[in-house]
Amino acid sequence: MILEICSGIKIREIIESDKHAIVRYANNKKIYNNLRDAFPFPYTFEDAENWLTLLNENIPKRAFAIANNEELIGVIGIETCRDVNRLSGELGYWLGEPFWGKGIATHAVQNFIRYAFDYYNITKIFANVFSSNPASSRVLLKSGFKLEGCMRKQIVKNGQALDQFVYGLLKDEIPGLVFKSP
């Protein structure tokens, strides 16, 4: 799978040789601070290897590389839910810090959700965002997601209790999206 998302940036399958770039960019406290503790810090080469092994066991694939022409610069993916929630999927993403502030995550989300609704056969995509992460909230709002709720003191990160926002997008809400050039 390859999605061209904006000039020189695409979403593609993750390959073994991406391990080096994953460690280079994922090993960053600022990224760890905004993700679940299952995402380690420090992020080692062994962590990348273990994660890739898990990823390759999952069919269909649930995570993809955000990449420029040289290397992986981030990751985007969906965890589909089970049982009565089975038509929903939780969106997750991170981008290497050198690439922040250029609209890349927004373009990645806007393009990936279109693909994901069909590929995973789901009708709703949601994302959980720590209240300490306004950049991610902006990415989702710019991508058409709606704020659905605030789970008060739902999480504990770095020893601090934080609210968690829930953003959601239904499949039939997609056509209204406005795509901006980078």
Binding site for ligand COA (CB under 6 A): 31, 34-35, 93-95, 100-106, 127, 129, 133-136, 138-139
- Which CB, 93 or 112, lies closer to ligand COA? 93
- Which CB, 84 or 178, lies closer to ligand COA? 178
User: Cα(102)–Cα(52) distance, rounded to whole angstroms?
Assistant: 27
- Which CB, 121 or 138, lies closer to ligand COA? 138
Give me the least distance between CB of 13 and ligand COA, in Å please. Answer: 20
Give me the least distance between CB of 118 and ligand COA, in Å please. Answer: 23
For residue 41, the tally of other CB atoms under 10 A from its CB is 17
Please, which residues have CB within 8 angstroms of residue 119's CB and are 6 or more apart in sequence?
1, 60
- Which CB, 37 or 121, lies closer to ligand COA? 37
- Strands of the sheet containing 88-95, edge to edge, are 2-6, 9-12, 63-67, 72-80, 88-95, 124-130, 160-170, 146-157
Give me the least distance between CB of 142 and ligand COA, in Å please. Answer: 6
User: Cα(49)–Cα(33) distance, rounded to whole angstroms?
Assistant: 21
Give me the least distance between CB of 90 and ligand COA, in Å please. Answer: 10
